[in-house]
Structure 1
Amino acid sequence: MSNKNGDSFSVAIPEGDHELEHLTGETGTGRSFSPSLTRQVSYQGEPAAPLSQLVNNPTASILGYCLASISMTVVNKYVVSGSDWNLMFLYLAIQSIVCILAVLACKKLGFLTLERFNTDNAKSWFPIAVLLVAQIYTGGKALQFLSVPVFTIFKNLTIIVIAYGEVLLSGGRVTPLVLLSFGLMVFSSVVAAWADVNAAAGSGSHPDKTDAALKTLNTGYAWMLANVFCAAAYVLGKGRVMKKLQTRDWDATYYSNLLSIPVLVLGSFLAEDWSAANFARNFPEDSRRSLISGMIYSGAGAIFISYASTWCQRVTSSTTYSMVGALNKLPIAISGFVFFDAPITLGSVSAIFFGFISGIVYAWAKIREKEKAKMALPTRR
């Protein structure tokens, strides 16, 4: 039987003001995603009830956004945390294939528009697709070995790397308030690691059991460190290519996920065991249907999260949306305690608290930056 005890990541979707997740994980503005559902009105100019009342309800949009994020985290963790799981490339390939099919279905239904496939653009997007593969693979491996709360806390470190990457590449700057949030992020990660090591050291009186637990943690932290830099490289690289080619959000999603499929399939063929016996170990009969359903949902979930974030942005303010993105990390971390066997200790709870505060401080800092930019008057020479 498989042992499901652990966290999450996801295919790439259009991104908004916040990075990833993700693996996670990740939200989007979905500027080109505009389902006609959100524009239903009666001939008298009154909103079509009750459906339009629901899609224009701020509380419903926030709950939908949070539930979409939590469900993706829980499903991804469930799939990858089997004791014999070793088909990560295959899983990610299926995820990307389902995501592409979902995007094409939305295009067919008129929910979004895509540009015609362009070979020259594809050549520019291929390196970004490789970075996407590196990001989601390292994220998936980190999830195998780390709990949901720890994974969620450590993903904050990606924000720091991206911020300083932008400073180096674009000459941006880090404000004191943002720097304070970074300090809290690092502190919460240190507390989380300390709590994890203490929990592993006390996991059993037998030295072999303790050594195995610590080895698992060290492996998870190594993958997590790799994921932080891979995710940052992907976000920074994607932003530069989008700016260079003037690519819209959904076209970027389409190219990066489509071009990642052959890389993932090749990786699976070269590095993974496709024997019947190994498939039987990875997909035990008692959980086979739920695993396959989870794999399909994780691919389609990219669309769900993107719509939910677009919905939240549309019916609330940008300030509310930014704060919801920061506050959403708390229920995602708590889901690790609720759905999996993540240890509840003073250290783990403290780490989540400081990570939660760091997210609020960061969101508030970015809101203040935008407000100052709007207030700045243009000058003429």
Structure 2
Amino acid sequence: MTISKEENAETQILMPKPSLGSNNGSAMGKHIFGLPSVLVAGLCYCAASGSMVLLNKHALASFGFGSPTALLCFQCALAAILVKLCELVGFVKLQPLKPDLVAVWFPVNLIFVGMIGTSFYALKEVGVGMVTVWKNLSNVVTACGDVFIYKRTYTWQVWGCLGLMLVSAVAGASTDSRFTWLGYSWQIANCFFTSAYALYLRSVMDKVAEHTTNKQKMDEFSMVYYNNLLSIPPILVAMWYFGEFEGLLDEPALRNPNFLFVSAMGGIIGFGISFSSLWYLSQTTATIYSLVGALNKIPVAVVGMLAFAEPTNPKNLTSIIIGLGAGVLFTRVKSK
């Protein structure tokens, strides 16, 4: 399973910039089906990232499936297979599995497992609207990490946006009629894992470059391959810890074709984000890319709340709107 890039704007600085991106002017002049290519790329990126969240929410919440870690393991294995198939047909070139590279990357991978694992458990318990708002809190933790670890400074406008995110998240949780300590504990843990992934990945990329075959930073698809393939052993351990091996094959959802289809599509679309995000980034600027990612949370939250009939009230809805708006404003202010 891949992580959509708008989930954590901090990780976007690590994405390789395709050569197409150096010629945005010519890209703007190209058309696909009569539409500007940059618009088509943006729509594909937004549709893929939004659909992944909604499909995984559907798989976790609508079929009574009690083994979310097993679903995560399936999607990671599927993503690793799909990336390897792309390499076999010549679409991408991956870094080979080398013991020294695996040793350097594995700590990153453990944080990655924590990030996607807590995301799955949170998505199962918390509504889509509140999940999108609380995901913004990873920006608060990351900014604090930037200050204390990397000695970075931010303007008062950035801190103002972060403060608004924090207030809206707390207010939203306090007015959430479906509030559970379990669900929000998973969501808080996800914020810390997401920030830890961004902060640690930034520091380890130069070390990784020393062990790659071309002595350069690992590209996006190699990261997807390494993350998903190396995630399988820790996830199997987590399945054992949570007791999911017992009775897994007796889960009624596994005999439901709709559940199998939704689960597979969630994994395939999640993998497709890697292609659509790089394609869109090659057609536009990093600032526009980040801003569109933040704006995309708004329709995802709206569709999720309507599709899953999530109960809300005026206070809760107001906090969601403020939180999503603060996320967009944060991206705009930070880009300046």
- State the TM-score, normalizing by the size of structure 2: 0.86
Map Cα deviations across residues 176-226 of structure 1 (whole Å, 9 max, x no partner). Answer: 121011011112102211220xx35xxxxxxxxxxxxx5xx1111111111
- State which of 315, 333, 353 in structure 1 corresponds to 2:283: 315
Deviation at 1:239, TM superposition (A): 2.0
- State the TM-score, normalizing by the size of structure 1: 0.76
- State which of 290, 293, 300 in structure 1 corresponds to 2:258: 290
**Matching residue's letter, 1:237:** Y
Q: Structure 2: state its 5+ residue gaps.
A: 21-26, 210-216
CA 1:332–1:33 in structure 2 vs 1: closer, same or farther (change >3 Å)? farther
CA 1:146–1:13 in structure 2 vs 1: closer, same or farther (change >3 Å)? closer
Distance of 1:243 and 1:335 partners within structure 2: 40
Deviation at 1:12, TM superposition (A): 4.0
Distance of 1:14 and 1:157 partners within structure 2: 15
> Does residue 1:229 correspond to 2:185, yes or no?
no
**Matching residue's letter, 2:196:** A
Deviation at 1:106, TM superposition (A): 1.8
Distance of 2:282 and 2:295 partners within structure 1: 18
Distance of 2:14 and 2:54 partners within structure 1: 19
CA RMSD of aligned residues (A): 2.9
CA 1:319–1:93 in structure 2 vs 1: closer, same or farther (change >3 Å)? same
Q: Is contact 1:107–1:114 with CA below 8 Å preserved after alignment?
A: yes
Distance of 1:340 and 1:16 partners within structure 2: 21
Deviation at 1:275, TM superposition (A): 4.3
Identity %: 28
Match of 1:18 in 2: 9
Q: Equivalences for 1:146-185 in 2 at 5 Å?
A: 146-185=126-165
> Does residue 1:220 correspond to 2:179, yes or no?
no
- State which of 222, 236, 252 in structure 2 corresponds to 1:251: 222
Larger Cα-atom Rg? 1
Q: Equivalences for 1:16-165 in 2 at 5 Å?
A: 18-19=9-10, 29=15, 31=17, 56-82=36-62, 84-165=64-145
Q: Is contact 2:281–2:289 with CA below 8 Å preserved after alignment?
A: yes
Map Cα deviations across residues 274-325 of structure 1 (whole Å, 9 max, x no partner). Answer: 345x54335164xx21222222222222332122222222333333222211
**Matching residue's letter, 1:67:** A
**Matching residue's letter, 1:260:** S
Deviation at 1:59, TM superposition (A): 2.5
Distance of 2:14 and 2:47 partners within structure 1: 15
CA 1:33–1:140 in structure 2 vs 1: closer, same or farther (change >3 Å)? farther
Deviation at 1:257, TM superposition (A): 1.8
Match of 1:271 in 2: 242
Q: Secondary structure at the match of 1:111?
A: coil
Match of 1:195 in 2: 175
Distance of 1:341 and 1:300 partners within structure 2: 26
**Matching residue's letter, 2:301:** A
**Matching residue's letter, 2:148:** L
Distance of 2:130 and 2:253 partners within structure 1: 26
Q: Structure 1: state its 5+ residue gaps.
A: 1-9, 21-25, 35-40, 201-213, 369-381
CA 1:97–1:366 in structure 2 vs 1: closer, same or farther (change >3 Å)? same
Q: Secondary structure at the match of 1:115?
A: coil
Flag the structure with more relative contact order, 1 or 2, with Cα contacts below 8 A and sequence separation at least 6: 2
Distance of 2:231 and 2:10 partners within structure 1: 20
Distance of 1:218 and 1:169 partners within structure 2: 30
